[in-house]
Amino acid sequence: MTEEKRAHRPDLVLAGVPIWKGFLDEAAQRALLGEVRQVVRAAPMFSPRTPGGKPLSVQMTSAGRYGWYSDRQGYRYLPHHPSGTPWPEIPPEALDIWRTLFPAARAPDCCLVNLYRDGARMGLHQDRDEADFSQPVLSISLGDAALFRIGGPERRGPTRSVWLESGDVLALTGPSRLAFHGIDRIRFGSSRLLAGGGRLNLTLRVVD
């Protein structure tokens, strides 16, 4: 094994999910945050609703060819922001992480940005609105720590949990690609990265 490959081995694997703890140092986190701010300026955050009409507790936006969206018509990807404006480009810092950890994967065409403020959470769900499940979903955490829960391909199966902190990276890949996962809570105020507190989660994925 080369030194480069050894350097990118995950720190732990939880239920088949590789996790790189502290993959981004503080300088890299702030550089990526600056790029995310540019995305939000071009494509402002919005609050989606489930098909049943229930509002999600997170705010979100996207970058890339597609952005994830949800309303009474269902879960889907849109080629433009709900306002009708094009999605901005995926942050270069996020693309660098994708290429570093998954050099053989196809280029991502969506970077979903979720903002968790105090009390926000994300229930157990699968990422299955994409066409090619052989491609990974890469998750990058910025800001407050979050309790991440991961299970298997069945919703009612056993789950395990780990705290994700600012700069941590994980991937749903291989057998874990369709695992149920979610965020039970955030440790609000545990990081000073985001003004006013909260957590940003970036997920890169191949849609087509």
Task: Summarize pLDDT for 57-106 with one digit per residue, the tens.
Answer: 999 999 999 999 999 999 999 999 999 999 999 999 999 999 999 999 99
Question: pLDDT tens digit string along 32-56?
Answer: 999 999 999 999 999 999 999 999 9
Q: What are phi and psi of 31, to 5 degrees?
A: -65, -45
Domain membership of residue 15 (yes or no) is yes
Mean pLDDT of 127-138: 97
Contact between 95 and 105 under an 8 Å Cβ cutoff? The reply is no
Sheet holding 145-150, edge to edge: 122-125, 181-187, 145-150, 160-164
Report the domain count for the chain.
Answer: 1
Question: CA 167, CA 181: separation in Å to the nearest integer?
Answer: 19
Domain membership of residue 79 (yes or no) is no
Which domain, by its residues, includes 120? Answer: 3-26+89-205
pLDDT exceeds 50 at position 1: no
- Domain of 188, CATH number, reads 2.60.120.590
What is residue 6's predicted lDDT score, i.e. its pLDDT?
Answer: 46
End-to-end CA distance of the chain: 33
Domain membership of residue 67 (yes or no) is no
Percentage of the chain exceeding pLDDT 70: 97
Domain membership of residue 50 (yes or no) is no
Interacting residues of 108 by C-beta distance below 8 A, sequence separation 6+: 64, 90, 95, 98, 138, 204, 205, 206
pLDDT exceeds 80 at position 130: yes
State if pTM tops 0.85: yes
Domain membership of residue 195 (yes or no) is yes
Question: Can you read off the two tokens belonging to residue 37?
Answer: 């701010």
Average pLDDT in the chain = 95
Within its chain, how far is the Cα of 103 from the centroid?
Answer: 19
Question: pLDDT tens digit string along 141-195?
Answer: 999 999 999 999 999 899 999 999 999 999 999 999 999 999 999 999 999 999 9
Q: Exposed, middle or buried: residue 201 (CB in 10 Å: 0-12, 13-18, 19+)?
A: buried
Mean pLDDT of 104-127: 97
Domain membership of residue 111 (yes or no) is yes
Contact between 173 and 143 under an 8 Å Cβ cutoff? The reply is no
Question: CA 159, CA 152: separation in Å to the nearest integer?
Answer: 7
What is residue 2's predicted lDDT score, i.e. its pLDDT?
Answer: 37
| Angle in degrees, CA 195, 196, 197, rounded to 5 | 95
What is residue 8's predicted lDDT score, i.e. its pLDDT?
Answer: 87
Question: pLDDT tens digit string along 61-73?
Answer: 999 999 999 999 9
Nearest one of 143, 112, 115, 113 to 129, comparing CA atoms: 112
What is residue 3's predicted lDDT score, i.e. its pLDDT?
Answer: 44
Contact between 52 and 158 under an 8 Å Cβ cutoff? The reply is no
Domain membership of residue 42 (yes or no) is no
At 7, the pLDDT band (50, 70, 90 cuts) reads low
Domain membership of residue 78 (yes or no) is no
Segments in the chain forming alpha helices (H): 3-7, 26-42, 92-101
